[in-house]
Structure 1
Amino acid sequence: MSGVRTSRSLGGRGGLASRLLLAQVLVLGASVVTAGAVAALFGPPLFHEHLLEAGQAPDSPQLAHIEQAYRDASLVSLAVALVIALACAAAVTWYVTRRMQAPLDALANAAREVSRGHFGARVGPLGAGTEFDELGHAFNLMARQLEQTEDTRRRLLSDLAHELRTPIATLTVYCEGLRDGVTTWNADTERVMTEQTERLARLAADLDDVSRAEEGRLALDLSPTPVPELIWSAAEARREAFARQGVELHVRPDAAPDVHVEADPRRIGQVLDNLLANALRHTPRGGAVQLSARAVHDAVEIVVADTGDGMSADQLPHVFERFYRGDTARDRDRGGSGLGLTISRAIADAHRGSLVASSAGPGEGSTFTLTLPCA
């Protein structure tokens, strides 16, 4: 039925075929009227002058008949030309609309499927010219992006429910225990309740940061900032945590001692803190993490490299996705909220920079490179 509706719209009242035919008729009509007016105004005087030059007497009775024959012949020629032109225009209109009908039907049907929520709808090669092929490619790209957005939304809702389940369940159990007298309020109870409420608050704050960053609503207070200052501040904030876990932290800003970047120190500090926390989380006792910087052309690369778990080739493409964790057990106490790297990349993008990850494989450590433009 959809194909019938599209066909009617092409050839019916106000459709493409009728409008195309009307346009051609108007052009032909204007051409014929112009030709007739020119022939009527300039043809008879010129023809009369040539007859006189050919030897006809001005008062000859044959002269009037010849001129009348010329006018009749011109009128008939224009009429026949108009009829033939109209027939050709109708034939061309029919051919063009028939050629356009199939790709337009395909596009209309695919668009209708997408509007119903079937984001997997695609159009194949339309075979109606480069313009239609480009239109089909643009439509497929749009549908693919909508499909990816919908997949991300579903995965986000699923992961968010997954993240909320454990702290809510823990708080519920402790509340019921306190109400029934099974559990008493002591230091352990206070610690568990505090940890779980802080975890929920941290998750809400991280989600807000991700949303504002990816929607371009992240407020940045940009200023020329020395790279060594960024590196030393981030290292000092995490040095005690590294010492507690027995992981060495090496800081080497020597390769970019006098370089400034146009950055928001607080936000870049958040990125470096996330990267250091991630490196510490995945580096066992006795391992090492190196925080360094180097100038590359008109940019600065800040590198966080560890000797920890490393990542496989399958994990690398997903490391910046929301709630993604490389550990299959999804240990939340070790795996974090799963949003730190997502937020970090969004902040890097907001600074017109980039954040990429690399690893030689499981057990070979990981390297995260933050690139920022020089001030």
Structure 2
Amino acid sequence: MKQVKWLFHPILVFIFSVTALVVSLFLYIYWYIEVSSGLRSAMVRFNVEQDQVFAADTWVVILVLSILIGTILLGIFIIFVFSQKTTQLYRMQNNFINNFTHELKTPVTSLQLYLQTFSRYELSREDQLKYIQYMLIDVDHLTQNINRMLNLAKLESKSYMGEFVVCDLVKTVNQFLEENAHLFKACRIAVHGPDATTVYQRINRHLFEMLLMNILTNAVKYNTEKMPRVDISIQPARRRTHIRFTDNGIGFDRKEMKKIFRKFYQIGRSDDMTAKGSGLGLHLVQNIARLHKGKVLAESQGRGKGSTFTLILPALE
């Protein structure tokens, strides 16, 4: 049964179809040339003029036929590529659903356990506060996942409305880190701005903070060091502003450089590493960058060597 299923694999079907089409074209041309040669020999023998048998546009017909078959081959190839991408997207969606379900189920199960503990036992005030703190962390986790989904839906539908204002980037990043210091207690984040220069940029503050949150949480999440580290470097140029986020995390292979911004893509799903998150964070980051008329580039020297994400924004005129 497995062998029969293997024979109907899309790649094999595509190869067989293209091969059959090419062979049929070759055999047709070969047959035509052989028949034409035989006819010419017969005409020479019986002294028959060739114009009475062969049309002047014979090779034009062959050329047109070749172009049509080439077009068919191109169409088959496009359909094959589209089919493969659709299959890949379907697999990524399945991975996302499975992983995101786990992301939602884990805190819900934890909350249920804590609430059952509250209902069945008499707890001291100290234990109550401890469990309430755990529950608040789970609720915050749930809220982040739900908000990520809602925000992505708004961004992709282009229904997100927000005000763009001119801000000092260094001040904005530092303020964001101060307000969210409780989320990054176990890591070291350093901001490096240009000396004696204020970098102003037109941004949507809410979206920009969402971008910072996703990049920084990714840097902490995909990190096996005892002390995760992120260096944020803000460098103004003549026409662009570069904001680099360099971490000491797990990094990624060169082949994953463009894939990591795809929706649902998760580093580690295809190897022995455990994939984390929902696969939406960096896709959300790229969408936010585009709304700011910019883009995000990713770099890494390989697994275990950290990574650098560079946000490029048009300079304020």
TM-score in terms of structure 1 length? 0.54
Q: Tell me, which stretches of 5 or more residues in structure 2 are unaligned?
A: 1-54
Change (3 A) 1:140 1:223: farther
Distance 1:230 1:97 in 2: 69
Aligned to 2:98: 161
Partner of 1:38: none
* Maintained 8 Å contact 1:239/1:249: no
CA change 1:336–1:300 in 2 (3 A) is same
- Which residue among 148, 154, 159 is the counterpart of 1:217? 159
2:27 equivalent in structure 1: none
* 1:274-285 matches, cutoff 5 A: 274-281=214-221, 282=223, 284-285=225-226
Is this contact kept in 2: 1:256–1:293, CA < 8 A?
no
Which of residues 264, 273, 287 in structure 1 aligns to 2:213?
273
2:178 to 236, 241, 247: 236
Work out which of the residue numbers 244, 248, 253 in structure 2 matches 1:312: 253
Q: Does 1:262 align with 2:211?
A: no
Aligned pair count reads: 253
Q: 1:364 to 1:219 in 2, by over 3 A?
A: same
Deviations 1:62-117 (A, max 9, x none): xxxxxxxxxxxxxxxxxxxxxxxxxxxxx99999899767866886xxxxxxxxxx
Q: Which residue of 1 aligns with 2:88?
A: 151
AA aligned to 1:298 is: R
CA distance in 1, matches of 2:225, 2:242: 26
Query: Partner residue of 2:73?
Result: 124
Aligned pair in 2 of structure 1 residues 203, 92: CA closer, same or farther (>3 Å)?
farther
**Are the aligned partners of 1:227 and 1:257 in contact in 2 as well (CA < 8 Å)?**
no
Shift of the alpha carbon at 1:264? 0.7
CA distance in 2, matches of 1:346, 1:325: 17
Quote the sequence identity (%).
21
Q: 1:166 to 1:271 in 2, by over 3 A?
A: closer
Deviations 1:305-358 (A, max 9, x none): 122322222443332233444345436xxx343322111111001211011111
Instruction: Give the Cα–Cα distance (whole angstroms) in 2 for the partners of residues 288 and 173 of structure 1.
Output: 29
CA apart distance, 1:159: 1.7
| Cα distance, 1:300 vs structure 2 | 0.3
* Gap change, CA 1:372 and 1:194, over 3 Å in 2: same
> Which residue does the alignment assign to 1:69?
none
Residues 1:356 and 2:297 aligned together: yes
2: CA distance, partners of 1:208 / 1:301: 28
The amino acid across from 1:370 in the alignment is L
Partners in 2 of 1:196 and 1:240 — Cα distance? 15
Considering only CA atoms, is the larger Rg found in Structure 1 or Structure 2? Answer: 1
Aligned partner of residue 215 in structure 2, secondary structure: helix
Report matched runs for 1:48-67 at 5 Å: none
CA distance 1:288–1:204, change in 2 (3 Å): closer
CA 1:364–1:157 in structure 2 vs 1: closer, same or farther (change >3 Å)? closer
Name the amino acid aligned to 1:159: F
- Given candidates 249, 259, 269, the residue that maps to 2:189 is 249
Closer, same or farther: CA 283–355 of 1 in aligned 2, 3 Å? farther
Q: Distance in 2 between matches of 1:289 and 1:191?
A: 27
Distance change (3 Å), C-alpha of 1:318 and 1:178? same
1:271 to partner: Cα distance: 0.7
* TM-align CA RMSD: 4.1
C-alpha distance in structure 2 between counterparts of 1:361 and 1:165, whole Å: 28
Whether contact under 8 Å (2:100, 2:277) holds in the other structure is no
CA 104–185 in structure 1, closer or farther in 2 if over 3 Å, else same: farther
SS across alignment from 1:302: strand
Cα-to-partner distance string for 1:162-214 (whole Å, 9 max, x where unaligned)? 321464377469869988x9976975876776655554443332122223323
Instruction: Spell out the pairing of 1:77-92 with structure 2 (5 A cutoff).
Output: none
RCO comparison, higher one (Cα < 8 Å, 6+): 2
**TM alignment of 1:181-200, pairs within 5 A:** 198-200=140-142
Q: Offset of 1:303 from its aligned partner? A: 0.9
Mapped partners of 1:288, 1:272: distance in 2: 15
**Structure 2 partner of 1:337:** 278
